[in-house]
Amino acid sequence: MANLKEVKARIQSVNSTQQITKAMKMVAAAKLKRAQDNILQMRPYAQKLSGILKNLSALPGDDNNSTKYSEERAEDNILLIVVTSDKGLCGAFNSSIFKATNRVIENKYKKQFDAGRLTILPIGKKALEFFTKRGYNVISDYWNMFSPVSFEKSSEAAQFVMDSFVDEKFDKVEIIYNEFKNVATQLLNVEQYLPVERPEGAEDASFGIDYIFEPSQEEIVKELIPKSLKVQLYKAILESNASEHGARMTAMDQATDNAGELLKQLRLTYNRTRQAAITTEILEIVAGAEALGS
């Protein structure tokens, strides 16, 4: 049977761990509220802008600026933007992203990967560490996006990606991230970032969107498409940030419950061990008394 001192030490250790997980859960809940508000405010704007972006990219235009971000080429060079967190202790949040990235590479871009023409742009320290240690081609200039999250920092990364696509350094760009649904649920998303996807029916001659352009279609497209792409990346980062805090809150809540169950078992073990020790002492006293009486 376990030693009383050892059991007592374990109880103290688990109790300390439970206090830490409780505190981490409260911190994650506070951060989640702010992150959730940010993404809920951003979503309608980003979705509407994304719809306009796709429609504009499908409209005919003589200016090359209207089509350079929707140009489809042979997929020789691939860029994957992988969004994770800076810290751990958030359950399967990061590991699910890594598994999804490996599936995408294996199922879609195995040829490019084997030829060394697949590049990772990690956002989040965990993604940077994971892909750097495994020898991937990594662009390590834009990983620090979460301290704090800002549109300016994400815009720099988006501008780099857009310029690289226009210069034909990359022929296709995809984003892999966790989309926030609720505290307990994150949806894994793999979205095409570039080239801009045209809406269904855009090839049809009858396809048309009733837009009134002022001052001109070319000028509006030139300004709006880059801005929309920047918003799209920023939205993915906000989604991942909210998902991270939700995942950490859930993980810490489960860890706190598990610590509580373990404490119950340890206290039961402690009481049984203590009772056994007391019973042994009583038996020894009785045996000694009988020996003296005889």
Is residue 90 annotated as part of the catalytic site, yes or no? yes
- Using CA atoms, how far residue 204 sits from 66, 172, 198, 201, 218, in Å, is 19, 24, 12, 5, 22
Gap between the Cα atoms of 193 and 159, Å rounded: 12
Q: Please identify which of the residues 14, 90, 104, 225 carries the catalytic annotation.
A: 90
Classify strands 118-123 and 137-138 as parallel, antiparallel or unpaired: parallel
Read off the tokens for 260.
Answer: 């509580």
Which amino acid type is present at position 244? E
34 CA to centre of own chain: 16
A 10 A CB-CB count for 142 gives: 19
- Name the nearest CA neighbour of 188 among 67, 60, 95: 95
Tell me the CB-side half-sphere exposure of residue 121, using CA atoms within 13 A.
23
H helix runs in the chain, sequence order:
4-58, 93-108, 110-114, 125-133, 151-166, 217-293
- DSSP letters of 147-178? TT--HHHHHHHHHHHHHHHHTTS-SEEEEEEE
Gap between the Cα atoms of 32 and 15, Å rounded: 26
Gap between the Cα atoms of 56 and 260, Å rounded: 57
Question: Which of the residues are catalytic?
Answer: 90
